[in-house]
Copies of this chain bind each other. A is one copy, B any other.
Amino acid sequence: MKRLTKQFQFNSAVLAVSLMMLTTLAHAQSDPLPSWNDTASKKAIVEFVELVTTPGSPSFVAPAERIATFDNDGTLWAEQPMYFQAIFIFDRIEELAPHHPEWKEKEPFASALRGDRKAALSGGVKAILEMAMATHAGMSTEAFGQTVMEWLDSAKHPTTGRRYTEMVYQPMLELLDYLRANGFKTYIVSGGGIEFMRPWAEHVYGVPPEQVVGSSIKSTYEVRDGQPMLMRLPEMNFIDDKEGKPVGINQHIGRRPIMAVGNSDGDFQMLEWTTAGDGPRFGLLVHHTDNEREWAYDRESHIGRLDRGLDEGPKRGWTIVDMARDWGTVFPPQTD
Q: Residues of A at under 8 Å CB distance from B?
A: 64, 141, 185, 194-195, 198, 202, 208-210, 212, 216, 219-221, 223, 227-228, 230, 243-244, 246-247, 250-255, 269, 272-273, 276
CA of A212 to CA of B250, assembled, Å:
11
A193 to chain B, nearest CB (A): 12
CA of A185 to CA of B208, assembled, Å:
12
Nearest residue, chain B, Cβ from A255? B209
Does B269 contact A243, Cβ atoms closer than 8 Å? no
Tell me which of B228, B253, B276 contacts A227 (CB under 8 A): B276
Closest 3 CB pairs of A and B: A209-B254, A221-B243, A221-B246
Does A219 contact B247, Cβ atoms closer than 8 Å? yes
- Among A194, A195, A228, A255, the one with the most B-chain Cβ atoms within 10 Å of its Cβ is A228
A312 to chain B, nearest CB (A): 12
Nearest residue, chain B, Cβ from A67? B210
Does A255 contact B210, Cβ atoms closer than 8 Å? yes
CA of A219 to CA of B284, assembled, Å:
25
Q: With A210-B255, A216-B251, A251-B216 as known contacts, state yes or no: A272 contacts B228, CB within 8 Å.
A: yes
Nearest residue, chain B, Cβ from A65? B208
Tell me which of B212, B223, B254, B276 contacts A210 (CB under 8 A): B254
Does B228 contact A246, Cβ atoms closer than 8 Å? yes
Residues of B within 8 A of A208 (CB): 64, 254-255
Nearest residue, chain B, Cβ from A269? B221
Does A253 contact B221, Cβ atoms closer than 8 Å? no
Residues of B within 8 A of A198 (CB): 254
* 6 more CB-based (< 8 A) A-B contacts, given A221-B273, A228-B269: A194-B251, A198-B254, A220-B243, A227-B276, A230-B250, A252-B252
